[in-house]
Structure formats: structure tokens, C-alpha cells
Amino acid sequence: MHADPKGVLTGVHFLDGDHACCEGTLAAGARFAAGYPITPSTEVVERFASRIPTVGGIFIQMEDELAASIAIQGAVWGGAKAFTVTSGPGFSLMMEHIGYAAITETPCVFVNVQRGGPSTGLPTLPAQADMMQARWGSHGDYGIIALCPNSPQECFDLTITGFNLAEEFRVPVMMMLDECVGHMTEKVIIPPADQIEVSPRRYTHKPPAEYHPFEPGEDLVPEMVKAGDGYRFHVTGLTHDERGYPSMDVATQDRLVRRLLDKLKPFSNGRAICDTADLEDAEVAVVSYGITSRVAQRAIELARTRGIRAGKFRLISAWPFPEQHIAALAGRVKAFVVPELNLGQMVHEVERAAAGRAKVIPVSHAGGTVHDPEVILKAIVEAAK
């Protein structure tokens, strides 16, 4: 279905990534946001607070990130599309409710504008050090989707994609911005509403007597209901059976937890979102994401001018990790160069997928600014030897 025109600010704009992300939420149909102020992410909800009263929806500033990250889930079960926004310290507090969203299969979006860590770290400066936390931060086994925009335009476009994927797979989706992308101002084109596809919630058509809230369909995703429609359903963070009833049964646990991961398999295999260039003849593939991919682009161009056949593999969907793509490349390239604004996170996934069939060279950075392209270039030159 098409976007509701009420939320779509069609036109050509000059926006920073945070504001573009906010416009993405509105275009995607989000009508509820709960937040707690934290640099460098707050501009997303500041704009939402300004825009939503004329669109028709709710913004509430909660007392902390724990509250914000569960209020959005109450809103989802009330029928809204909803999201929250934060940065590192707040993201840590939200982990409990990322787990809750995963086990209750509550479609919602968490925007994390990453800054330097650990702890309070570098509040106003960029990092990409929450990538593993996004995937593994809550306890137990579960799957999520994480998207990494590298421009304000992508902050708009991918936020819509993120909401759509949350509905399709009934998972929490992480929008993994970083301070640079969040605060970078560029041209953003917002198309007319009838050119924006949004995924509706997968509401059931079954009558209450035939409906089991956690009975999966063929694609392993159950159909949803919302409160107030007469289904009298139960939702719990305990391990539960298809009826939604708690169960301490080992077989039920196995069935549920495996499904939470398996339902994302099509995405990790066939539907991973990647941006590639110059890989056909590449001897070195530079794997990057977010702001670092723009620095890596410069390094790749410099390498090509020196006659080194470098290519680009940009992770747009970092999770589920596109391991089949990397595995396929590993048979063709000599090496992967993996620059990231952390001391080594996604590089471990590249190593795992490459499985020793190509060298993997990390270009780590503790955060606070972006890489110098020369540093990445040096790694490419080294890799091509």
C-alpha cells in the first residue's frame, strides 16, 4: 500500500540525517514515538514532536529509555506504528525491551545514532561501536534486522524500509546511524506519497475462536491482532506456545526460539541489502557501512588510480549478516579490507564468512572522528600484495 499523504513532506529539502530519519518515520506511517533526550539523536524526536500534532499522532517524552522502549510496544499492540530514538548509553538501557520485542514479535523500530563509548564516552562524536550490541545486546537467542544509512537521503529511505521490514518479519529493527550521518546536512528528496510503498501490519482475518496469536504462517511469521478488537489474546515475555500461553516445556522453547531466528533466514540469504561497485575484477573488496563507507569510497578511488583493483561492498543491512555474499566473494578476491569506527566488530563476521579463503584486514578506529582515507588506502595496498 502507499504512504498516507498526511505524513509525507513531499519536496526537495536540505536536511540533516536525524531530521531526514524523522521524515522517514512519518512517511512510513509511524504515529507514535516515545523518547528520552540523548545526544546526538534527540533531533529525531524533536522534529517528530513538532510535526506529529499536525499529522495526527502522539509523541511522549518518557522518564527514561526503559520506559520509552516499552511504551512504543504498548502503542504497537494498541494499533500504532511506533519507534524510539537513542544513542549508546540509552541503547544499553533499551536492551531488555529489544529482547521483549523479539520474543513477543512486536514490530517496532529503534533508531540508534551511535557515538563513542563505552559508557558516556564521546557524547557528541561519532563511532560505530554498537554494531555487536545491536545484534546480541539482549540476553537469549533471537534475531533482529539492522540497517546502516550513510547519508540523510538514506536516513529517509531506509527508515521507511526499516518500518516495512519490522512489519513483514515482526522483529525489532535497528536503524544504526552514527553522529556524522545524523548531523550531516544534504539534499533529501521526499517523493509523493503514492510513490512510497509501506507495509501494512499483518492483521489476521480469522475470527477469535480460530485465532492463535503465535501460530506461525508458512513464512514462520504469525498474524497479529491489536487490543480492543475482541480477541482477548495474551502476550508474554515468557516462553510461550502458539496460544501465547507461558510454557516451561523444553520442546516449546526449542520451537519458539529457533523460529525467532529462522523467520529471518530469507532476509539473510536472498534479501540482504548491499551496495556494491567494481567487484567484477576486484582483487580487494572493501567492506564498510555507515559514514565509514563514504571515506572508504575515497580510498577505493585512490587505489584504482594506482592500478589496484579495489571494489566496494557496502553493508546496508548489517544484520542479518549477508554471509553468503561475503562467502561468494571470498572465493574471488585476495583480501577483504574492513574499516569501521570501532576496534573490530563486523570484521569478525567477514572473517567468519570468508572462512580463511581470503585475507581479512581490519582498519580499526576508536571513534571520535572518521578515518583518514590514506589509512584505508594503505590497508588496500597492503592487501593487494
Partner 1 sequence: MSEQLLEVECEIPEGSFNPVEPFLRMDRIPHIWCAGCGIGTTVNCFTRALLESKANLDKVAIVSGIGCTGRVAGYARLDSFHTTHGRAIPFATGLKLANPELQVVVYSGDGDLFAIGGNHFIHAARRNMDIKVICVNNLTYAMTGGQTAPTTPSHVISATAPYGVFEPAFNLVQLADACGASYVARWTTFHVKQLARSMEEVLKKKGFGFIEIVSPCPTLYQRRNKMGDGLDTMKYYKQASKIRHGAPTGECSLTKSGEIVVGKFIDRERPDYYELLQAQMHESLGDRYAEPEVGCSEC
Residues that bind partner 1 (CB under 8 A): 4, 6, 29, 31-32, 34, 53-58, 60, 62-64, 66-68, 70-82, 96-97, 100, 200-201, 203, 226-238, 245-246
Least CB distance to partner 1 at residue 264 (A): 23
Q: Report the distance separating Cα 212 and Cα 244, nearest Å.
A: 7
**φ/ψ of residue 270, rounded to 5:** -95, -25
The nearer residue to partner 1, 74 or 368, going by C-beta atoms, is 74
**How many residues in the chain?**
385
Least CB distance to partner 1 at residue 272 (A): 28
Least CB distance to partner 1 at residue 227 (A): 4
Least CB distance to partner 1 at residue 58 (A): 5
Least CB distance to partner 1 at residue 17 (A): 25
Pairs from 208-217 (Cβ < 8 Å, separation ≥ 24) = 208/232, 212/242, 212/243, 212/244, 213/242, 213/243, 213/244, 214/105, 214/240, 214/241, 214/242, 214/243, 214/244, 214/256, 215/242, 216/242, 216/259, 216/263
Least CB distance to partner 1 at residue 199 (A): 11
Nine cell digits for residue 365: 578506529
Q: Report the distance separating Cα 368 and Cα 61, nearest Å.
A: 28
The nearer residue to partner 1, 33 or 180, going by C-beta atoms, is 33
E strands within 253-334?
Answer: 274-277, 284-288, 310-315, 317-319
Nine cell digits for residue 227: 487490543
The nearer residue to partner 1, 232 or 385, going by C-beta atoms, is 232
Cβ atoms of 260 and 141 within 8 Å: the answer is yes
The nearer residue to partner 1, 64 or 141, going by C-beta atoms, is 64
The nearer residue to partner 1, 100 or 267, going by C-beta atoms, is 100
Taking the CA atoms of residue 27, residue 199, residue 187 and residue 148 in that order, the dihedral angle to the nearest 10 degrees is 120
The nearer residue to partner 1, 118 or 228, going by C-beta atoms, is 228
Pairing of strands 274-277, 185-190: unpaired
Of 132, 156, 134, which Cα lies nearest the Cα of 145? 134
Least CB distance to partner 1 at residue 19 (A): 20
Place of cell 528528496: 189
Q: Report the distance separating Cα 161 and Cα 298, nearest Å.
A: 27
Least CB distance to partner 1 at residue 238 (A): 7
The nearer residue to partner 1, 61 or 369, going by C-beta atoms, is 61
Taking the CA atoms of residue 60, residue 61, residue 65 and residue 67 in that order, the dihedral angle to the nearest 10 degrees is -50
H or E element that contains 380:
helix 373-384
The nearer residue to partner 1, 204 or 293, going by C-beta atoms, is 204
The nearer residue to partner 1, 227 or 375, going by C-beta atoms, is 227
Least CB distance to partner 1 at residue 223 (A): 13
